[in-house]
Structure 1
């Protein structure tokens, strides 16, 4: 995910959360599998993707959900 933070610097914030150290957050967002990508805009959850995803598919997902990245 560091590539996304570097590629979209200033337009996107990438955060990694330790699910074991943050069980309330894990429960709140219903994270059942890892890896999980949650995309938010202005505090609103836009999408929840569990499981492995290629860089190309993740880039497409980011651009679909966050038009400011296009």
Structure 2
């Protein structure tokens, strides 16, 4: 899992990582919002979901203390980070602003 994760975040295309937990209500509310973001941006972005309970080392490496936490990567660099529930417009705005 970690090797695939590092391959993905080192891509030239922006990658939005959603650190979540299955028991987290706001995480469940964010899931359809992220689908709308993906539908809006299509192939211009990759969105991956990381279950923090199953991937504690990865969550720890990126100092994920609360869920949901979204981190935007491009070429292996962290461009943007936000914890909590955001609207589609807020997420899209940050992705577009930070990845250009």
Decide which of 40, 48, 52 is 2:81's aligned counterpart: 48
Scaled by the length of structure 1, the TM-score of the pair is 0.87
Partner of 1:28: 61
Runs of 4+ in structure 1 off by over 4 angstroms are: none
Aligned Cα root-mean-square deviation (Å): 1.0
Scaled by the length of structure 2, the TM-score of the pair is 0.63
Higher helix share: 2
Task: Return the structure number with greater relative CO, CA threshold 8 A, min gap 6.
Answer: 2
- How far is 1:64 from its partner? 0.8
* Structure 1 residues not aligned, in runs of 5+: none
Partner of 1:8: 41
* Structure 2 residues not aligned, in runs of 5+: 1-33
Higher strand share: 2
State the number of aligned residues: 67
